[in-house]
Amino acid sequence: MAASLSSLHHLSSSLLSISSVVSLRPIRYILPRLSCSLSSSSSSSREFNISFAPAKPKPKPQLEDSDPQLSGVDGQLFIPWIVRGEDGNLKLQSHPPTHLLQAMAHAETKTKATTAAAKKKKKETVAKTTEPKHSKASRRFYNENFKDSEQRLSKVLAAAGVASRRTSEELIFEGKVTVNGSVCKTPQTRVDPARDMIYVNGNRLPKRLPPKVYFALNKPKGYICSSGEKKSVLGLFEDYLKSWDKRYPGQTKPRLFTIGRLDVATTGLIIVTNDGDFAQKLSHPSSNMSKEYIATIEGKVGKKHLIAISEGTVIDGVRCIPDSVELLPDQPDRPRSRLRVVVHDGRNHEVRELVKNAGLEIHALKRVRIGGYRLPTDLGLGMHIELKQGDLMALGWKNELDLASSCGTIYEYLMWVLSLSTRVVKLLKSVTEQERFVAFAESDIKSACENCLVIDYNFSPNEAVAESSYPYTSGID
């Protein structure tokens, strides 16, 4: 019996010494429980059954909480904080002190600010190294004059001063226009006046289209804004057109027209041009161009009149409300009251209808502002002034206006060509020709690039003369 127990003990020791058995998770570190049973036969040896007791679950550690207030909801424990109260005594609480929370929030805010500043600095550094973007004016100047100079036939006829766009289309439909010897009845046909031979009623269309011109006119009373009438505002430009050949020798006279209209009795600012694209975008409702009028009123103007005007009126089924109405101070030399009315709808007789709806009568009406451009105070009735680049930008066509051919974004154009090729148009033989270009300092142009081409603007851009051997330091004529 002792020998059997000894051998059994040796067997159990051998089992525990095997790492693969001991490392099994269910029986790890568990000692076997031995039990023996006697067989019915006295001669048979004893049989031992080896079984393992189930693992006892580890008890969860429990912390003694002397203060019941520190125990959380549903048995959750909070980290106690030892703080000094207002009475100077130490006490336990379940949340950090207020000054510590404020310090943590301040540190987090400071970290975010530092990160934002670093990102901004990195963005500025990247922006300086990237290729500069060029304005739409410079890109359009390049595309129209050097890349693709073809335009719609109806637009070319209107730009050449043949007729308006609509009348030009009628001439094309009637078969009175030929292109390169063939009758063309499609207004959308793409043509290039410098290359194609275009005839209208047997007359050759000039290769060079007239330059785009822009004027501000102080319209007098009694003139209408339609062309072809006896007392048209376009008749006020006769002296200017008579001197056209001296100003622009060899170029076709432009066909001028007004942008918008003023009725016969209204005076003041009106824009005159030969640029159809400019006129269309300026007069389109999407431009949201405001217009300011000064209305001289018969009789006294009271508060009720101002309220009635500001509430608006219905014109052609649409309710029109002015942007602002203001009663101007009385002046000794002006016995009548004056109102400043700003509108943006631009409907026919809008200001007159607003004043009439308030029970007032207009003695005189004058438009003094369109967009950001104001009528010069020293511009007399019937006089006009040519608009410059800043004036056109004040009219709201900042990024889309083709100023390169009219007001001189030459520097932008040079930088645009610089991004396309190492040979850049740099020097213009006649930069100040017709006061259409702005002359920049020679040093600024030199810094644009190393190589240069010279374009002679005595010809059209398509017939430009390029001379790469032109002396670089000769300056601008």
409, 448, 431: which is closest to 138 by C-alpha? 409
Q: How far apart are CA 114 and CA 120, in angstroms?
A: 10
Annotated catalytic residue: which of 65, 67, 148, 263? Answer: 263
Query: pLDDT digit string (tens) for 237-287?
Result: 988 888 888 887 877 888 888 988 899 999 999 999 988 878 888 887 777
Under the banding of pLDDT at 50, 70 and 90, the label for residue 88 is confident
Alpha helices, DSSP H only, in 284-422?
303-311, 350-357, 389-394, 410-420
Total residues found in the chain within this entry: 477
Under the banding of pLDDT at 50, 70 and 90, the label for residue 133 is low
Under the banding of pLDDT at 50, 70 and 90, the label for residue 420 is very low
Residue 85 three-state SS: coil
Q: Residue 326: its pLDDT value, please?
A: 92
Mean pLDDT of 375-382: 92
Residue 10 has pLDDT above 50, yes or no: no
Residue 36 has pLDDT above 60, yes or no: no
Superfamily of structural domain 214-394: Pseudouridine synthase (3.30.2350.10)
Mean pLDDT of 343-356: 87
Mean pLDDT of 337-352: 88
Amino acid in the structure at residue 456: D
**Structure tokens given for 340:** 């400043």
Under the banding of pLDDT at 50, 70 and 90, the label for residue 13 is very low
Residue 42 has pLDDT above 50, yes or no: no
Mean pLDDT of 190-199: 87
Residue 474 has pLDDT above 60, yes or no: no
Amino acid in the structure at residue 11: L
Alpha helices, DSSP H only, in 65-205?
98-129, 136-142, 153-159, 165-173
Residue 341 has pLDDT above 60, yes or no: yes
Mind spelling out the 3-state secondary structure of 261-277?
Answer: CCCCCEEEEEEEECCHH
Q: Residue 309: its pLDDT value, please?
A: 92
Q: Is 305 left (phi over 0), alpha (psi -120 to 50) or beta?
A: alpha
Q: How far apart are CA 237 and CA 390, in angstroms?
A: 23
Mean pLDDT of 119-127: 69
Mean pLDDT of 140-156: 69
Superfamily of structural domain 147-204: RNA-binding S4 domain (3.10.290.10)
Mean pLDDT of 164-193: 89
Those residues with Cβ within 8 angstroms of residue 440's Cβ, 6 or more apart along the chain or in another chain: 410, 411
Q: Of 132-136, 208-212, 215-219, 302-306, which gets the smallest average pLDDT?
A: 132-136
The neighbouring-strand residues paired with 293 are 341, 367
Q: What is the chain's alpha carbon radius of gyration, rounded to the nearest angstrom?
A: 45
Active site residue 263: yes
Q: How far apart are CA 50 and CA 388, in angstroms?
A: 108
Q: How far apart are CA 477 and CA 463, in angstroms?
A: 20
Q: Is 163 left (phi over 0), alpha (psi -120 to 50) or beta?
A: beta
Cα separation of the two ends of the chain = 130
Q: pTM to 2 decimals?
A: 0.53
Residue 146 has pLDDT above 60, yes or no: no
Residue 368 three-state SS: strand
